[in-house]
Amino acid sequence: MHGYVHVYTGNGKGKTTAALGLALRAAGAGMTVYIGQFIKNADYNEIKALARFADQITLEQYGRGCFIYGTPCDADIEAARTGLRIIRQALISGAYHLVIADEINVAFGCGLLDETDLLDFIEARPPAVELVLTGRGAPQAVIERADLVTEMREIKHYYQRGILAREGIEK
């Protein structure tokens, strides 16, 4: 099988959800999946659910707790760089059919990683591995390098009416 590079980006809801759906589809087909979540460091419900598939899906987080505003501190940068090293090793290890770098574009946008980091990461992908990069603000060079790009565009969201993230739906 030949693998491709997917980018799920844009300001709308559903980028991580789409990647997790692909992970479940791959696991259902007997494939192995590695998910590395940048920035995040919490016990989200997807982590609890995916634990049921631990023999096929590995999920690790490389963040200190959803940093997305302000100037990153050295610890935030180091967490992202450590995560990039680990997920790159998973990518080239031969152990996984699908590798998902969740919120890697946001890590770029926040200054935790640079464009060269992302492009080098993509170039390291063995031809048989499917690679997914998620998060708002994918750089143009990443979009150009990808084989499939989906932009989630917010048209309407109940958050604008003051409805906060709900258990099992947004978190």
User: Is domain 5-161 classified as CATH 3.20.20.120?
Assistant: no
Query: Which secondary-structure segment (H or E) carries 149?
Result: strand 148-151
Cβ–Cβ < 8 Å for 38, 112: yes
Query: Which secondary-structure segment (H or E) carries 133?
Result: strand 130-134
Predicted model pTM = 0.94
Instruction: Tell me the average pLDDT of the chain.
Output: 93
Cβ–Cβ < 8 Å for 84, 117: yes
The pLDDT assigned to 89 comes to: 98
Residue ranges covered by each domain of the chain? 5-161
What token pair was written down for 165?
Answer: 């993230």
The pLDDT assigned to 162 comes to: 87
All residues at 6 or more sequence positions from 115 whose CB lies less than 8 Å from its CB, including other chains: 108, 139, 141, 142
All residues at 6 or more sequence positions from 42 whose CB lies less than 8 Å from its CB, including other chains: 61, 65, 66
- Taking each continuous run of H as one helix and of E as one strand, the counts in the chain are 6, 6
74 class by beta-carbon count within 10 Å (0-12 exposed, 13-18 middle, 19+ buried): exposed
For residue range 26-61, list pLDDT tens digits in order: 999 999 999 999 988 878 888 899 999 999 999 999
The span from the CA of 33 to the CA of 80, in Å, is: 20
- Mean pLDDT to the nearest integer, 86-102: 98
The pLDDT assigned to 67 comes to: 58
